[in-house]
Structure 1
Amino acid sequence: MKTIFELKQDMTTIGNQIQKTKDEISQKAADPAVSVDDLNQLNKTSAELQQRFDIIKAQHDQMEAEQKASLEKSNFTVTEDPKQKVVDAKAEIIRATMGNRQIKEDVFQALGDDGTSKGGKFLPSTMTNDIIAEPLVKNQLRENEVVTQITNLTIPRISFMLDDDDFIEDMETAKEMKAKGDSVTFGRFKTKVKAGVSETILHGTNTNLVSHVENNLRSGLAAKERKVSFATAPKAGEEHMSFYDKTTVNVKEVTGDDLYDAITKALADLHEDYRENAKIYMTFADYVSIIKTLSNGTTNLYSAQPEQILGKPVVFTDAAITPVIGDFSYAQLNYDISDVLYEQYKDYDKGINYFMVTAWFDHQIKLASAFRLAKKA
């Protein structure tokens, strides 16, 4: 049995054929050289195509009506379990959005929200993965950075000052404070994330539906976060988000005879306040290259932990094409969830329905002096 999307494609194809036949009839009707029999045959063809179109359209309309009726059934179950109420509320938001119908006020209330917030509580939630899905994209920076969800966020560039101190020991930090100011203000940068939702998932259990959509949304957002944080050619206006930006962030580069030498020198070059909690973000390929050089034909180093080799914890990510060393608590990701938008999106060419979320976030490197880039000379 054909899907709604396949029926739509059939309708488009036959509709184009009908229009082409009508154009041909109009053209040949004005040509005296064309016989009446030929015109009658074209009219007959046009009538047959129209009949086929009407049959397909009737099937399409019936399936669409059945799907809409199914979506409009209440999936907001009656339960006393607070966690399940949240799952049910989120499932109702997804189904209502996909079915183009209004979301009831009690759905927002179950999320500890109201209608004016447009479901802002949706994105920050964490749900148990209840279905088998593809491996989720991961933003490794979240393990060590500060992550917040505050509208119009402004924070001090450094955490504390001493009353009897009129200077900062690290001169690079002092210069940066003078150049950039004492505070960091987070902006709003829009990103759209789409979660593909099949009819099977849409009509499945609330838990499976919510888990599927949330996992895909989190994956999409994590991919975007990681991309802007390690962008070698950031988009206009997003330069400040990247550790590699040379215009506004300008993290100091430390070079060495090889990558191992550069990383160890970069660690030594950090002020002790930053070196204490420093971590190394680098590609696994670069690490293997270092081990290959240091091992000199033996296998002893391959079994050692990366921290034993480089002196600080190592986080592997292919996005860090140039190793970044520093205290990552001085980088922060903030989401503005005051007006998260969600909507339905259809890709008719691929025949896929999407639940799409528009969110606003910003990534700020609060102190560039807390980081170093390690490069081979």
Structure 2
Amino acid sequence: MKTQTKQLLKALEHKNAIKLVLPLKDLQFFGDKTLYELKQAMATIGQQLKKVEGDLSAKAIDPSASIEDIQVQQKSKEDLQARFNVIKQQHDELEAEQQAKFAQQQAAKNATLGGIDNPQQKVTAAKAELIRSAMLNKPVSTEVRAVLGDDSSTGGGKFLPKTVSNEIIMEPLATNPLRGNSAVTRITNLEIPKLSYTLDDDDFIADKETAKELKLTGDTVSFGRFKFKVFAGVSETVLNGTDTELVGHVENALKSGVAAKEKKVAFAKTPKAGEEHMSFYRTGPTALKRIEGESKYDSIINAYADLHEDYRENAKVAMSRVDYLKMIKELANGNASLYAAQPEQILGIPTIFIDSATEPIVGDFNYSHFNYDLNELFDRAKDIKTGVEQFVVTAWLDHQIKLASAFRIAEVKTP
């Protein structure tokens, strides 16, 4: 067997090899390779084959190319095609073997899922089956969906079951510091009033800027649907690992992606087309009012003072920690005690540290609202650059700043 393997390798490496007709038993030396490695090899040789085919076509129509040159390219093509066929055959067999093994494991697990007494263990096992089913393009069993709280109205479609969806969307791991300050909901076609209360007297709004804004933009906010995808790379090792490791790996990646998306849209200096309204730094008629100061500290205090008292009472400042430390350095002037003080003691208002806030935002963050559409989807994809399989969640998000009047951007005067 070792002799046959060496001969095969030598044949594969020979640049002028034309044909490789190999019995199945002689392909087993690839058995030590993982499915991922075989996918990478197929991708690499496939790219080379495509290039050689292009070169061959170019030479075939080039009158100046000699027959010998065309024959060399033809041999190279046949050589690469033979290599590709060898690896693909082993890949297909290994993939079929793994899928059959998974189907047996899934059947066994589904049969025993009802026998798991611990509710948390049952949910974890069901989540693992959901992920593995998606990665192998297999249908999710009704038992798994039932454990994860799936709505039967989906009819077995690809909607993300409620338990998984809630934990990914509503409980992100990588924190978005606006969570706990901004509102977060999961309601389809959400429409809410900009003010939480009204009076029968139209003049009850003391803040003239708010009154002007409501007249300009209306007194309600309608949330839209802006699609984004979060990818969790799942290696073959993780996929075949324990349920706890698989679920933890995928959920952590997805939660981190959701939190990152929220921060990105809320603090984008150059938002994507159609998403301009989501950013605190938006421009145009609904842009947040900018307040200047001689220093970062002065601009924040001035912005806070410029807020109407209705918003000032619950106001906080969102700023990067680096900006805060630079500000403290300027204020301290050699006095180390300021470094030990709490931010609220320095600024007089609570502080939200978020590096995405390249310019401090001062205001009542109750008027910042993230909403997710209910119809998250899950799917699988392959990263063609690395060959790693991806567990993908597609979600629809909108971030509305319900009242721009409730916020100010603090900026330092330019010299």
TM category, shorter? 0.7 to 0.9
1:105-137 superposed Cα distances (whole Å, 9 cap, x missing partner): 22222222235432241321269x9xxxxx953
Moved more, 12-21 or 308-317: 12-21
Taking structure 2 as the reference length, what is the TM-score of the superposition?
0.79
Residue number in structure 2 paired with 1:178? 215
Q: CA deviation at 1:246?
A: 1.6
Residue number in structure 2 paired with 1:30? none
Residue 249 of structure 1 aligns with an amino acid whose one-letter code is T
Q: Where do 5+ consecutive residues of structure 1 fail to align?
A: 28-32, 130-134
Q: Does residue 208 in structure 1 map to residue 245 in structure 2? A: yes
Residue 378 of structure 2 aligns with an amino acid whose one-letter code is Y
Q: Does residue 360 in structure 1 map to residue 402 in structure 2? A: no
Residues 60 and 237 of structure 1, relative CA distance in 2, 3 Å threshold: same
Q: CA deviation at 1:158?
A: 0.6
Q: Using the alignment, how far apart are the partners of 1:57 and 1:5 within structure 2?
A: 12
Residue 303 of structure 1 aligns with an amino acid whose one-letter code is A
Residue number in structure 1 paired with 2:165? 123
Q: Using the alignment, how far apart are the partners of 2:86 and 2:392 within structure 1?
A: 33
Residues 12 and 259 of structure 1, relative CA distance in 2, 3 Å threshold: closer
Q: Using the alignment, how far apart are the partners of 2:190 and 2:181 within structure 1?
A: 20
Residues 350 and 11 of structure 1, relative CA distance in 2, 3 Å threshold: closer
Q: Does residue 251 in structure 1 map to residue 288 in structure 2? A: yes
Residue number in structure 2 paired with 1:59? 90
Residue 372 of structure 1 aligns with an amino acid whose one-letter code is R
Moved more, 339-348 or 326-335: 339-348
- Taking only the aligned residue pairs, the percentage that are identical comes to 52
Q: CA deviation at 1:92?
A: 1.7
CA contact (8 A) 2:52 2:76 kept: no
Residue 397 of structure 2 aligns with an amino acid whose one-letter code is F
CA contact (8 A) 1:243 1:249 kept: no
Q: Using the alignment, how far apart are the partners of 1:19 and 1:333 within structure 2?
A: 48
Q: CA deviation at 1:200?
A: 1.6
Residues 164 and 325 of structure 1, relative CA distance in 2, 3 Å threshold: same
Q: Does residue 162 in structure 1 map to residue 203 in structure 2? A: no
Residue 336 of structure 2 aligns with an amino acid whose one-letter code is T
CA contact (8 A) 2:168 2:255 kept: no
The number of residues matched between the two structures is: 363
Q: Does residue 345 in structure 1 map to residue 381 in structure 2? A: yes
CA contact (8 A) 1:331 1:364 kept: yes
Residue number in structure 1 paired with 2:315? 278
Q: Using the alignment, how far apart are the partners of 1:223 and 1:263 within structure 2?
A: 26
Q: Using the alignment, how far apart are the partners of 1:114 and 1:306 within structure 2?
A: 46
1:143-172 superposed Cα distances (whole Å, 9 cap, x missing partner): 311100000100110111234664211111
CA contact (8 A) 1:18 1:49 kept: no
Residue 216 of structure 1 aligns with an amino acid whose one-letter code is A
Q: Using the alignment, how far apart are the partners of 2:216 and 2:74 within structure 1?
A: 78
Q: CA deviation at 1:8?
A: 3.1
Residues 108 and 65 of structure 1, relative CA distance in 2, 3 Å threshold: same
CA contact (8 A) 1:98 1:355 kept: yes
Residues 204 and 248 of structure 1, relative CA distance in 2, 3 Å threshold: farther
Q: CA deviation at 1:88?
A: 2.4
Q: What root-mean-square deviation, in Å, do the aligned CA atoms of Structure 1 and Structure 2 show?
A: 3.1
Q: Does residue 269 in structure 1 map to residue 301 in structure 2? A: no
Moved more, 304-313 or 210-219: 210-219
Q: Which of 311, 314, 319 pairs up with 2:351?
A: 314
Residues 267 and 43 of structure 1, relative CA distance in 2, 3 Å threshold: closer
Residues 264 and 95 of structure 1, relative CA distance in 2, 3 Å threshold: same
Residue 102 of structure 2 aligns with an amino acid whose one-letter code is L
Aligned 1:141-160 pairs, distance under 5 A: 141-160=178-197
Q: Secondary structure at the match of 2:94?
A: helix
Q: Where do 5+ consecutive residues of structure 2 fail to align?
A: 1-31, 61-65
Q: CA deviation at 1:311?
A: 0.4
Residues 106 and 296 of structure 1, relative CA distance in 2, 3 Å threshold: same
1:43-87 superposed Cα distances (whole Å, 9 cap, x missing partner): 998887666545433321222122212332214433233333332
Moved more, 270-279 or 51-60: 51-60
